[in-house]
Amino acid sequence: MFNIDLIKKLSYAYGPAGNEEAIREVILNEVKDHVDEVSVDTMGNLIAVKKGSGKKVMIAAHMDEIGIIITGIDDKGFLRFSNIGGVSPFVSLGQKVRFSNGTIGTLHMEHMEDMKHLKLEKMYIDIGAKDKEEALTKVNLGDVACFHSDLVDLGHSVMTKALDDRIGCYIAIETIKRLSASPNELYFVFTVQEELGLRGAKTAAFAIEPDLAIALDITSCGDMPKCKHLAVNLHDGPAIKIKDNSILCHPVMKNLLINTAKENNIPYQLEVLTFGGTDVGAIHLSRAGVISGALSIACRYAHTPNEVVSKDDVNNAVELLTKVLSKEI
């Protein structure tokens, strides 16, 4: 039931925020034969519509991923860089990144003494160039890269890069394929630039004017050794968002998700996040306000090259979303 080939395709696709062309192409090919209309707006959001006569529902999953951007190249061919979205120097140390042309480099730091207060500006990327001239044949200032890692099937769970938020894209795609008909008018929006501040969702919501909105994204887990308290666990079901730092979810949407899960015996947990935000943070404040909520997938090691999610949680999220959208809302 869990489509490992699809998540591999989505995860591996290149798509740091602002550079979503390749991942958009992958998603477009998956959904185009299963919807009534597809379009790409000015910002680059991919909008797939399933027509219906009822309420307008916007389902948002962001296609972009975190990354790095080149700020300088020295005489020896080493690259200096800055972040695109939340990139920690500690988790990126020793990892690989990949540029859109396939160039791969590894991230390291100047001095071990920097370790305690490590900052990205004390780090560099080695792409194997002998000097600046050779480096410039492969990368240029302003070029962007994403993490580079292999997907590992862990049995109950899956580990790879960019599950934030390709797993949300996966849930949207699988739901689109599974939904036969809906009484509602459904706008599946694969948004751009979420990692930089919910930018694509903001303009898409303004244009679509939805009655209701649901975001699909990852959330943090509280079940790893000595991590901070958070009542969200891997394998406990999709998490119905109560709040994060960008939204207090509307009771209508919260109850719709909870009641549908109960009616269909779908396991779920509640997400009360004291930090972070996602696309509905921007969507619910669009125009005169939108009734909004979110389905989150518990994810360990978010914003690292090795994010982990539970296959059952993902399957149950597809099931729950399909049931919710099949209802007359």
How distant, in Å, are the alpha carbons of 98, 207, 297 from that of 177? 31, 25, 20
Q: What amino acid is encoded at 215 in this protein?
A: A
Nearer to Zn ion, 175 or 191 (CB): 191
């699909």: which residue's tokens? 216
- Closest CB 195 distance from Zn ion, rounded Å: 7
Instruction: Tell me: does residue 65 bind Zn ion (CB under 5 A).
Output: no
Task: List the one residue from 30, 217, 236, 319 that touches Zn ion (CB under 5 A).
Answer: 217
Task: List the one residue from 165, 185, 271, 307 that touches Zn ion (CB under 5 A).
Answer: 165
Which of 203, 142, 186 shows the shortest CA–CA distance to 324?
186
Interface size with Zn ion, residues (CB under 5 A): 3
Instruction: Tell me: does residue 164 bind Zn ion (CB under 5 A).
Output: yes
Distance CA 200, CA 104 (A): 28
Which of 165, 175, 174 shows the shortest CA–CA distance to 66?
165
137: Cα separation from own chain's centroid: 31
Please choose, out of 66-74, 83-91, 158-166, 254-262, the segment that lies near Zn ion by the rule CB under 5 A: 158-166
Please choose, out of 196-204, 215-223, 292-300, 307-315, the segment that lies near Zn ion by the rule CB under 5 A: 215-223
Tell me whether the omega of the peptide bond preceding residue 33 falls within 30 degrees of 0, making it cis. no
Residue positions forming the annotated binding site: 62, 164, 195, 217, 303
Q: Pattern 8-47, binding to Zn ion, x per CB under 5 A?
A: ----------------------------------------
Question: Closest-CB residue for Zn ion?
Answer: 165
Query: In terms of DSSP H, where are the helices of 62-114?
Result: 89-92
- Closest CB 305 distance from Zn ion, rounded Å: 15
Distance CA 292, CA 233 (A): 23
Nearer to Zn ion, 69 or 196 (CB): 196
- Closest CB 215 distance from Zn ion, rounded Å: 9
Which of 81, 148, 75, 151 shows the shortest CA–CA distance to 119?
81
Q: Residues 30, 65, 174, 194: which is the catalytic one?
A: 194
User: Computed from CA positions of residues 315, 272, 193, 124, in that sequence, does the dihedral angle turn out positive or negative?
Assistant: negative
CB-side neighbour CA atoms (13 Å) of 69: 15
Element (H, E) at 242: strand 239-243
Beta partners for 190? 46, 61
Q: What amino acid is encoded at 24 in this protein?
A: R
Residue positions forming the annotated binding site for Zn(2+): 62, 164, 195, 217, 303
Q: Pattern 113-152, binding to Zn ion, x per CB under 5 A?
A: ----------------------------------------
Please choose, out of 53-61, 162-170, 180-188, 237-245, the segment that lies near Zn ion by the rule CB under 5 A: 162-170
Nearer to Zn ion, 85 or 210 (CB): 85
Is 185 a residue of the active site?
A: no
Site for Zn ion in 231-250 (CB under 5 A): none
Query: What's the full length of the chain, in residues?
Result: 329
Nearer to Zn ion, 157 or 278 (CB): 278
- Closest CB 165 distance from Zn ion, rounded Å: 4
Largest CA distance in the chain: 64
Residues annotated as catalytic are: 194
Judged by the rule CB under 5 A, the positions of this chain that interact with Zn ion are 164-165, 217
